[in-house]
Structure 1
Amino acid sequence: MGIEKYEGRVALVTGASAGIGAAIVQALLKHGLTVVGMARRVEKVKAIELALKDAPGKLYAVAGDVSDEASILAAFKWVKDNLGGVDILINNAGVFPITSLTDGKTEDWKRILDVNVLGLSICTREAVQDMLGRGVDDGFIIHINSVAGHTLQLTDGKAMYAASKHAVKVLLEGLRKDLVSKGSKIRVGVRDIIVLPTGTPF
């Protein structure tokens, strides 16, 4: 049995306004899940809702910036207060500016790490604590990662991005060990994508 067994359950997708995140939202809605689409551009998530108004699932557009802990906590609180909590987390939000290690801007490096590493970790912590607190033992968490986390691409300016994605891989393994040590059956996984030289995820 696949995703169908989660019909009616709550899935939170970060970076839900476009690209891979929007596609994930649409797929989950078509399988009857209750989906929280979290994004800074919340109006784009609402547009998905209008386009798929006949889908069996229900979409809620929630404003949230993964680089801002207070924003993340507010989004999870909204889900808890209005939908009962999160059963599935898809950590999709990510940024990939081209930035050199020898003359790049600190603000670009910080944004990469804030979104790709810290934001992902905060979202994961909040989802796990919510699931454990409610006794949810069949939830799951998926990190949308990149092949750059396994091997550095030749394109200049991608080293900091690749470092952030390697961190995601390590964090996933650490999360798996943490959950096993707690006796939890919450599942975790990763889906690697390719980022083209133009900076477009594929």
Structure 2
Amino acid sequence: MERWAGRVALVTGASSGIGAETAKVLAENGMCVIGCGRNVTAVQDLSDDLKSRSANGVLHPVKCDLRKEKQILDMFEEIKSKHGGVDVCVNCAGLGNMAQLLTGETEEWREELDVNVIALCICTREAFKQMSERNVDDGYIIHINSASGHRIAQGSNSYSFYAGTKHITEGLRQELRGRNSHIRVTAISPGLVDSGFHNKMGEEEVIKRKSMFKWLESSDIADMVKYVLQSPPHVQVHDIIVRPTEQLA
């Protein structure tokens, strides 16, 4: 991670779960991390903890509702004015409303699209713009995807619409290649993670599923982000699917 020391990483969804753990790991490894989330107090608490432990890098909290484009654009302007621009963009923020295709509410679908697709694309576009303006040709864009971006697991049709929001990375890779850019993009697709994401299933259902086998921890996915960033510039890690050992699908 030495070559990333002092460079700027944006991590969305940094107030909890995978986003918080990723922001922590990157800051511990010397990066200047911008952690955005609606619950900016939680990001600030994490930042204060890192300072108390004298982490090699620093975490700057930014309050941002990713459903609102103006807030995203304002955040990128702040990053540019205070830190020069983004070198790494980790799109961790995600939303699963359990809104089915046949019975879901339109607003639930729209919210998932706004966070999982539109916000991710805006952040990716603006990060690429800042990299290009500074001639950064070794930048990195990482999408925290989902195993649902690769299959519809039997018995999980509550996430059927959500699964449809998880197919972006290959198109982005091809656009970058078309520009002869060496900026890389990777999708990391977790299975079941003990991150709070699945709490909408209900407490009893979550407890039941966790009793069947050990779920992944948010730190396991943050380790995947670190692994990807450590890969040499000529290596394109396109997709990582990581599941609990005992998860069936």
2:50–2:58: 8 Å Cα contact kept in structure 1? Answer: no
Q: Distance in 1 between matches of 2:165 and 2:48?
A: 34
Equivalent residue in structure 2 for 1:10, among 8, 11, 15: 8
Q: Distance in 2 between matches of 1:179 and 1:59?
A: 28
Q: Distance in 1 between matches of 2:98 and 2:120?
A: 20
Alignment of 1:167-186 (within 5 A): 167=167, 171-186=168-183
Q: Which runs of 4+ in 1 moved over 6 A?
A: none
Q: Distance in 2 between matches of 1:9 and 1:82?
A: 13
Q: Which runs of 5+ in 2 are unaligned?
A: 200-214, 217-249
Q: Distance in 1 between matches of 2:23 and 2:103?
A: 38
- The alignment's C-alpha RMSD in Å is 1.6
TM-aligned CA deviation for residue 102 of structure 1: 1.8
Return the index of the structure with the highest Cα Rg. 2
TM-aligned CA deviation for residue 195 of structure 1: 4.0
Q: Distance in 1 between matches of 2:198 and 2:111?
A: 15
Map of 2:198 onto structure 1: 199
Q: Distance in 2 between matches of 1:136 and 1:28?
A: 19
Q: Distance in 1 between matches of 2:95 and 2:66?
A: 10
Q: Distance in 2 between matches of 1:100 and 1:160?
A: 6
Map of 2:108 onto structure 1: 108
Map of 1:134 onto structure 2: 134
Q: Distance in 1 between matches of 2:171 and 2:106?
A: 27
What TM-score do the two structures reach when normalised by structure 2?
0.76
Map of 1:23 onto structure 2: 21
Q: Which runs of 5+ in 1 are unaligned?
A: none
* Identity percentage of aligned residues: 43
Q: Deviations over 1:62-108 (max 9, x none)?
A: 11111111111011010001100000000000001111222211111
Q: Secondary structure at the match of 1:103?
A: coil
**How many residues matched?**
196
What TM-score do the two structures reach when normalised by structure 1?
0.93
1:91–1:142: 8 Å Cα contact kept in structure 2? Answer: yes
Map of 1:35 onto structure 2: 33
TM-aligned CA deviation for residue 179 of structure 1: 1.1
